[in-house]
Amino acid sequence: MRFYDIISAAAVLVTGVAAAAKGSQPNLGYAELYKLTQQFYDTFQYPNNVKEAEKINSTIFAENVQGRVSDTRNFEGRELNTEYIFGLFIPTASVSVIGKPVGPYEIIQFAANQNIASATTRFNFTFPSFGNISLPIAITTWMTYNEAKEITQYDVVFRWFGNVLQLLLSTVDKDPVKAQAKGAAVLATSTCATHTQFCTGNNAQYESEEECIRFLTKDIRFGQSFELGMDTLLCRNVHEKMIHFRPDVHCAHIGKSGGGQCVDDYSYLQKVTEDYYTNAPWIPTTEQSPPYGDH
């Protein structure tokens, strides 16, 4: 394909996306979008995230919010997103690769237009399960907002997460193979203890803690950094932290089936070609500001 053809194809694609928008989007303006981004990160910061998670249905999110988190999956609706965005990052008794967003944070890249804000934020985390090691984490977000200034869509990337995971595991053992084996044992033990405590009756996924540990350490893979939404131990370790909120919803995610969250059904090609978002276009649509047009 020649360069000009690529540009034309891109223009057609962009026009198509804009045309698919349901109605016009609010024009919130740059300053308001910056404030909303700050408010989001203030709320994400521990211990404010504890209070937000307690609300169960955080109105930071629209009722029909659609979210995508790098290396995991897509998350729909207010309640689930309150759990995943605010609840997941609260320290619990479980051993987890998920850190604690203690701050401070700094918005280091920002652009906004109409109802769309894009930011890169450097946020200090500590990792309670890894000797409280402190690390800055770079988070890139695209967000869209509705009239009520609720998030209708977000697309978040934890930058260089593979590096983060490698660094965390290197604190367990300098030899990466031993580090992974030790990590697997500890994460599986924690996940299975959580299962024993919360996944009882109809929510039980394993016959016993021994069966659970055997499955998590022998029958499935540990998982690479980009497999937090696949049939891996790492995926189940992420979901372990959600179980106490709603065992009936989350226990299946740490079970053998993976409950639709920890499943090998989401390939690279599916991810990269998926047209996921339907609530709002990611291209400004107000009459005064289209950067494209009919050529």
Ligand X SMILES: *[C@@H]1O[C@H](CO)[C@@H](O)[C@H](O)[C@H]1NC(C)=O
**Stretch of 129-137, 154-162, 202-210, 243-251 contacting ligand X, by CB under 6 A:** 129-137
* Burial status of residue 43 (CB atoms within 10 A of its CB: 0-12, 13-18, 19 or more): middle
Does an H or E element contain 142, and which?
strand 133-145
Residue bearing tokens 């894009």: 118
Q: Which of 29, 47, 136, 260 binds ligand X (CB under 6 A)?
A: 136
Least distance to ligand X, CB of residue 288, Å = 36
**Stretch of 123-131, 210-218, 229-237, 274-282 contacting ligand X, by CB under 6 A:** 123-131
Least distance to ligand X, CB of residue 74, Å = 17
CA distances 154 to 20, 60, 232, Å, are: 18, 12, 25
CA distances 77 to 38, 83, 236, 242, 268, Å, are: 22, 10, 21, 15, 24
Which residue's CB is nearer to ligand X, number 186 or number 204?
186
- Any contact of residue 47 with ligand X (CB under 6 A)? no
- Any contact of residue 246 with ligand X (CB under 6 A)? no
Do residues 191 and 240 make contact, with C-beta atoms less than 8 angstroms apart?
yes
Q: Which of 9, 12, 50, 56 binds ligand X (CB under 6 A)?
A: 56
> Total binding residues for ligand X by CB under 6 A?
11
113: number of Cβ within 10 Å: 17
**Contacting ligand X within 62-91 (CB under 6 A):** 78-79
Q: Which residues bind ligand X (CB under 6 A)?
A: 56-57, 78-79, 104, 124, 128, 131-132, 134, 136
